[in-house]
Amino acid sequence: MKNLLKKVFVLGLASAMLLLSGCGGKQTSNSSVKGTAAQSTTIQKYHWKMVTSWPKNFPGLGMAPEKFAKHVNEMSGGRLTIQVYGAGELVPGFEVFDAVSQGTVQMGHSGAYYWKGKIPASPLFGALPFGMTATELNAWLYYGGGMELYREMYKPFGIIPMAGGNTGAQFGGWFKKEINSMDDLKGLKMRIPGLAGDVLKKAGAIPVNLTGGEIFSSLQSGAIDATEWVGPYNDLAFGFYQAADYYYTSVWHEPSAGLEFLINEKAFNSLPKDLQQIIIVAARAVNEDTLDEYNARNNSALKTLVEEHHVKLRQFPPAVLAQLKKYTAEVMAEQAAKDAGFAKVWKSYSEFLANIRSYNDLTLKEYYKNR
């Protein structure tokens, strides 16, 4: 019995030691797991640069990229930060596309019509004379196949485009002399980009492409005779009323002015999926927010221009608008004949416009008459 008890004691002691040894191994394993977890939760941070075609912090246009950067920073918890540069701070305003395409920077913010020399169809994603309104353009982009075509056109350049704001319907512009007939457009030097410039060229005018920061001095010095920019909100900020007497309210060349975010494809694909989604959502939010802001600000700015600065409002004669519309149709046909990409996008755009126009004529157009 004594020997039996001794054996039981020895076996029990051995078991206890094995158990303790096992527990000790598990603790080591936990420490190892904890160490691995600590390493795996090391947060990778991304720091991007965004160049723009606008003066730094300029109302509306310049604040859209700033808001985007703020949204991305907050939604990502600081994992993705974006430094925004105004036109000329890092690259000139018209070199935004190339900077993003070449990977010099990860992002850009600009207007699609500036790249029509590289991508003939690009203006269709932003501003088309007698084309879609802002809400119609957004509908086409997001639900009518426009976004897929947008990305197809930019892909050869290694760029992913995203809608990045809209200033809504733009005024006809500032003129040093009144426009009473088509003859008054002949020889007129006007700052106007995109397809609208091609239309005015048919009318005998001389379209000039300038970034926003160059316009006032050019108008004041006489280098140009007229300019379009955006509308009352931005035009007041630039002080154009000091350099031209007549402000034409007629909307024709940009019934919608879509802005864009340009994203280097390699940089975007290097991000985790959640950060990619944050960029997509932030761009969509800024796209809508920018339009909301312009709709809210333009009216009060126009009152200031008229009541405080005594700006003379004018409208183009119906005959002038009719002729500009005719020239627009000619420009579209010519562009489609010259470039297959343009023809493909124009087919989608024009079909969508025809359908949504019929619907809006029955609804909004009638409502505006009856309101």
d(CA 325, CA 128): 11
Residue 97 near residue 262, CB atoms below 8 Å: yes
Q: What pLDDT score does 42 carry?
A: 86
CA-based torsion, 296, 301, 307, 310: positive or negative: negative
Cβ–Cβ contacts within 10 Å for residue 250, how many? Answer: 17
Query: How confident is the model at residue 21, as a pLDDT?
Result: 38
Determine the pLDDT at residue 30: 35
Other CB atoms within 10 Å distance of the CB of residue 145: 15
Residue spans of the domains in the chain: they are 46-166+257-295, 173-255+300-337
Domains 46-166+257-295 and 173-255+300-337 share a fold: yes
- CA–CA distance, 36 with 208 (Å, rounded to integer): 61
Where the chain has pLDDT below 70, the residues are: 1-41
The whole-number pLDDT of residue 364 equals 95
Token pair of 230, please? 């955006």
**pLDDT for 174:** 98
pLDDT, tens only, 244-265: 999 999 999 999 999 999 999 9
Look up the CATH number of domain 173-255+300-337: 3.40.190.10
pLDDT at 202: 98
Q: Which CATH number fits domain 46-166+257-295: 3.40.50.800, 3.40.190.170, 2.130.10.10, 3.30.565.10?
A: 3.40.190.170
In this predicted structure, what is the pLDDT of residue 40? Answer: 52
Alpha helices in the chain (DSSP H): 2-40, 63-75, 96-101, 134-143, 146-154, 194-202, 212-221, 232-238, 265-269, 273-307, 318-338, 340-362, 364-370
